[in-house]
């Protein structure tokens, strides 16, 4: 028994060391990236560019399902973005509430014939509408088919070469589109670009815009602020230097439409459509030996409301992890395959072993430690010391993400917000992390059972200035 415990411990320790070394590498790589991106984001010439015809036209895809409460505000906010040439395609995915009726009334919709080819097959369309008041708006009413199907319907209807998928409940900063197109202006080989998602809970929102960024006082959304900072500010930035991340958030990512057509759009049967899309995009471009980049840039920001209850959060995390497992399994042929370049040799192994299997290994680690202590194979003080170091490392990564935000974009100006962020970064390791491990573990049990559904999210609504 003792040998088994020892061997398992060595495996877990090696895993821990390798994974954390990789995180440290991402962190180190994120520093020059954030420096570079901050320098580019400071460019005063943006005002000049805004008035130029050079910016590529963009189609904003807005899938909506049962969004009656927020659809008017969201679409109005999107329509008033600071960008010269864009159109908005809203897809009502057979909502059971009065989303369609709300849209019809708010934007004076009138029915028009369909004037485009159905390049990607979708559920049948009921009708296509234009607005009498907003010429940039096109609304599609279709049979329910899920988020991916709605996005495909919107891609079919889009007229412009770049498309961006935006959740109906996401608040995009006015200049975010402008900033998101920067890589297209600076590089010729851009296939897609991801922007930053931040937590809107606790922020002041007016007319669909975040007017005052605050860190929520409640524990669960507060901790998610730190998680999002960590994921975006050093995780994804670090990946820029390692061949591009496998994830561009479905709530805020700009894609070249011709590439989306080439891969057949979003896969309707996928659990997490954004991850699946980006992996297939990498696969297609690598297979066809097309030189490309899929960068993440931190300064374009979209704000989203995160779950405030453990029940909804657990479902969200379980669904995300289920999507990760399904995607890694689906595209296992890319794993360690040199044909797919750095994506096959670095990104896929990391997402498989470092992300997908992480909850299993962590639970195994906890179990083995308990067993080892029970059988006297592990010294108690050593186990505690190891736990302290492991937790300390997690805390350090979170605080580092807070520091990166503080020295670059400084979205949270108040000292109280910074103190709160540091507090959440410290507490995340105690209890919250273990809960997320459990939620992600559940995904292994349910991965083959459920198909693609709209993620359930109970909207609390945003705080508005008095």
Partner 1 sequence: MTSRQFLVIVAIAQGVLLLALIILIALNRWVRLRRSAKVDPRRIELDAVMQRWVLGQADAAAVAHALGSLPIPFIIDALVTWSARVPGERWRQLSSQLEQRWWARVLRGSSRSARWWKRLDCARFLAVAATSHDTGRLLRLLRDPHPAVQLAAATTLERLDSPLLVAAALDQLPHLGPTVQAYYASVLKRSRPAVLRHLMQLFRRLDDPRLPRIIEFAGRLEEPVLREPFTTLATHLDPEVRTQVARALGKFPHRESVAALSYLVHDEAWPVRAQAVRSLGMIADATTLSAVRDALRDSEWWVRLRAGLALTRFGPPGRSVLLAAEVGADAAARDMAALILGLSSQALAEYAA
Instruction: Name the residue among 458, 438, 421, 432 with its Cα closest to residue 213.
Output: 421
- Among the listed residues 22, 219, 406, 433, the single contact to partner 1 using CB under 8 A: 406
Binders of partner 1 among residues 43 to 62 (CB under 8 A) are 43-45, 48-49, 52-56
Q: Which is nearer to partner 1, 185 or 458 (CB)?
A: 185
**Which span sits near partner 1 by CB under 8 A: 178-186, 301-309, 364-372, 454-462?**
178-186
Least separation in angstroms between CB 415 and partner 1: 8
Binding mask 128-167 for partner 1 (x = CB under 8 A): --x-x--x-------------------------x------
- Euclidean distance between CA atoms 452 and 146, whole angstroms: 7
- Euclidean distance between CA atoms 56 and 187, whole angstroms: 13
**Which span sits near partner 1 by CB under 8 A: 186-194, 259-267, 280-288, 314-322?**
186-194
SS3 content of the chain, % helix, strand, coil (to 5): 55, 15, 30
Q: Does 430 bind partner 1 (CB under 8 A)?
A: no
**Which span sits near partner 1 by CB under 8 A: 74-82, 105-113, 287-295, 303-311?**
105-113
* 13 Cβ contact partners less than 8 Å away, ≥ 6 residues apart: none
Tokens for 173?
């900063």
- Among the listed residues 32, 121, 174, 187, the single contact to partner 1 using CB under 8 A: 187
* Cα distances (angstroms) measured from residue 177 to each of 8, 278, 412, 426: 49, 20, 21, 34
Q: Which is nearer to partner 1, 355 or 406 (CB)?
A: 406
Tokens for 246?
């496998």
Query: DSSP class of residue 353?
Result: I
Q: Does 402 bind partner 1 (CB under 8 A)?
A: yes
- Euclidean distance between CA atoms 271 and 277, whole angstroms: 11
Q: Are 159 and 447 in contact (CB under 8 A)?
A: no
Q: Does 422 bind partner 1 (CB under 8 A)?
A: yes
How many Cα atoms occupy the beta-carbon half-sphere of 36 within 13 Å?
A: 15
Q: Where are the beta strands (DSSP E) in 353-431?
A: none
Look up tokens 């459509």; give the residue: 273
Look up tokens 């595209």; give the residue: 331
Binding mask 63-82 for partner 1 (x = CB under 8 A): --------------------
Footprint of partner 1 (CB under 8 A) = 36, 39-40, 42-45, 48-49, 52-56, 110, 112-115, 117, 130, 132, 135, 161, 181, 184-190, 381-382, 385-386, 388-389, 392-393, 395-396, 399-400, 402-403, 406-407, 415, 418, 422
């Amino acid at each position: 028994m003792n040998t088994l415990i020892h061997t398992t411990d060595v495996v877990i320790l090696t895993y821990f060391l390798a994974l954390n070394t990789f995180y440290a590498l991402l962190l180190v790589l994120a520093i020059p990236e954030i420096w570079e991106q901050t320098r580019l984001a400071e460019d005063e010439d943006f005002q000049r560019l805004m008035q130029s015809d050079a910016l590529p036209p963009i189609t904003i895809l807005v899938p909506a399902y049962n969004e009656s409460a927020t659809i008017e505000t969201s679409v109005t906010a999107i329509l008033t973005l600071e960008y010269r040439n864009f159109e908005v395609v809203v897809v009502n995915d057979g909502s059971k509430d009065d989303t369609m009726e709300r849209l019809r009334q708010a934007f004076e919709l009138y029915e028009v014939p369909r004037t485009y080819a159905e390049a990607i097959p979708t559920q049948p369309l009921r009708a296509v509408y234009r607005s009498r008041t907003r010429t940039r708006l096109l609304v599609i009413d279709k049979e329910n088919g899920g988020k991916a199907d709605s996005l495909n319907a919107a891609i079919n209807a889009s007229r412009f070469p770049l498309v961006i998928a935006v959740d109906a409940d996401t608040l995009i900063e006015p200049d975010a589109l402008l900033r998101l197109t920067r890589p297209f202006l600076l590089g010729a080989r851009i296939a897609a670009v991801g922007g930053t998602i931040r937590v809107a809970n606790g922020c002041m929102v007016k007319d669909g815009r975040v007017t005052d960024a605050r860190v929520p006082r409640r524990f669960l959304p507060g901790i998610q602020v730190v998680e999002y900072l960590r994921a975006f500010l050093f995780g994804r930035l670090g990946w820029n230097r390692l061949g591009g991340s496998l994830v561009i958030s479905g709530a805020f990512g700009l894609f070249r439409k011709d590439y989306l057509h080439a891969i057949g759009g979003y896969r309707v049967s996928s659990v997490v459509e954004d991850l699946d899309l980006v992996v297939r995009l990498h696969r297609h471009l690598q297979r066809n030996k097309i030189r490309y980049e899929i960068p993440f840039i931190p300064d374009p920001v979209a704000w989203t409301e995160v779950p405030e209850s453990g029940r909804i959060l657990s479902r969200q995390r379980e669904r995300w992890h289920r999507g990760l497992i399904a995607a890694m399994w689906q595209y296992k042929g890319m794993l360690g395959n040199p044909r797919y370049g750095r994506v096959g040799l670095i990104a896929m192994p990391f997402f498989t072993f470092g992300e997908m299997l992480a909850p299993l290994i962590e639970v195994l680690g906890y179990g083995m430690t308990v067993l080892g202590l029970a059988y006297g194979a592990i010294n108690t003080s050593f186990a505690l010391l190891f736990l302290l170091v492991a937790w300390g490392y997690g805390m350090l990564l979170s605080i580092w993400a807070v520091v990166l935000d503080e020295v670059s974009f400084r979205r949270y100006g108040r000292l109280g917000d910074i103190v709160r962020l540091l507090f959440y970064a410290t507490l995340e390791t105690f209890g919250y992390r273990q809960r997320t491990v459990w939620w992600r573990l559940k995904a292994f049990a349910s991965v083959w059972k459920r198909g693609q559904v709209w993620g359930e999210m109970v909207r609390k609504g945003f705080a508005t200035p008095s």
